[in-house]
Each structure stands twice: as structure tokens, then as C-alpha cells.
């Protein structure tokens, strides 16, 4: 028999990680119920902003499928219970800072990406996704 899967979250709310895991199972069909999941934010930071959701979801899926995420992509967006990716504040400032430190692509909510069409994307390729499935396809091809 197998033991209970371990779930550990350092720097991000544990309940939020469990919620995002449930969304991945339900909306993307990824089977995570028997898997160990470890989330750790480097540097001892504690992140309470929901814009981290998309990065967490993509990281879990990347690890499960053993498909690396391109290190030149950064992502942000809140993920809702039905798998939708919600817009977050300060999208333009986020991509400006990401471009400064060398990122080449940005994945965000479709709403944020559409709002950015009127501004300079600072040399980044902007990708918008409406839901978790679209985000997984755009970055991981799954």
C-alpha cells in the first residue's frame, strides 16, 4: 500500500496550493491526488498576492509531466475555481520589470494581454490565456 501524499508549501498559503491542485485535477485532468507536492518560495519570502497562482499551477503541471518551463517565460494571473485566469493589477509594470531582468515572453490572463496591446510590451512576446487549459497548451504543450 502507498502512504498519504505529502503536501508542503513554504512561502505560499497551504490552502491556496490545495485549491490550485484541485483546479488542475478538475479542469486539466491531471491526476494529482496520490502525488507529493512541494512548493517553496526562495529567499524566505511569503507571497500573499493571487497573481502567483498561474506560476504555481504551471510549475505543478511541469513537474508532473516532466516538461521543463522555458526559463525566459514569466507568468502571472489569478486562477479561479472554474479554471479561468483572471486579470491582476499592474500588468504593465510587471512586464516592464521582467524585460529589465531578461525575460523574453510573458503569459498572463487574456484580459491583461488585450489591455496591453495599446502599450509598449518592452520587447516581450505577450501570451494571453483565458483558462488553465489554454495556459498549459501555450507553455507546456499539454
Higher per-residue confidence, 117 vs 82: 82
**What is 7-140's CATH topology?**
Ribosomal Protein S5; domain 2 (3.30.230)
pTM here is: 0.91
- 52 secondary structure, DSSP code: G
pLDDT grade for 115, boundaries at 50, 70 and 90: confident
pLDDT at 106: 94
pLDDT at 66: 95
Answer whether 66's CB lies under 8 Å from 33's CB. Answer: no
How much is the average pLDDT of 28-41? 92
Q: Which of 15-19, 27-31, 58-62, 127-131 has the lowest mean pLDDT?
A: 27-31
Amino acid at each position: 500500500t502507498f502512504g498519504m501524499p505529502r503536501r508542503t508549501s513554504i512561502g505560499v498559503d497551504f490552502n491556496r496550493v490545495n485549491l490550485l491542485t484541485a483546479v488542475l485535477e478538475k479542469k486539466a485532468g491531471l491526476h494529482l491526488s496520490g502525488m507529493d507536492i512541494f512548493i517553496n518560495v526562495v529567499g524566505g519570502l511569503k507571497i500573499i498576492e493571487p497573481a502567483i497562482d498561474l506560476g504555481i499551477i504551471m510549475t505543478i503541471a511541469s513537474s508532473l509531466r516532466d516538461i521543463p518551463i522555458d526559463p525566459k517565460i514569466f507568468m502571472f494571473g489569478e486562477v479561479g475555481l472554474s479554471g479561468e485566469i483572471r486579470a491582476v493589477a499592474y500588468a504593465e509594470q510587471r512586464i516592464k520589470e521582467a524585460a529589465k531582468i531578461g525575460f523574453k515572453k510573458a503569459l498572463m490572463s487574456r484580459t491583461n494581454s488585450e489591455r496591453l496591446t495599446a502599450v509598449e510590451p518592452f520587447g516581450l512576446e505577450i501570451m494571453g490565456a483565458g483558462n488553465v487549459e489554454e495556459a498549459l497548451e501555450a507553455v507546456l504543450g499539454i
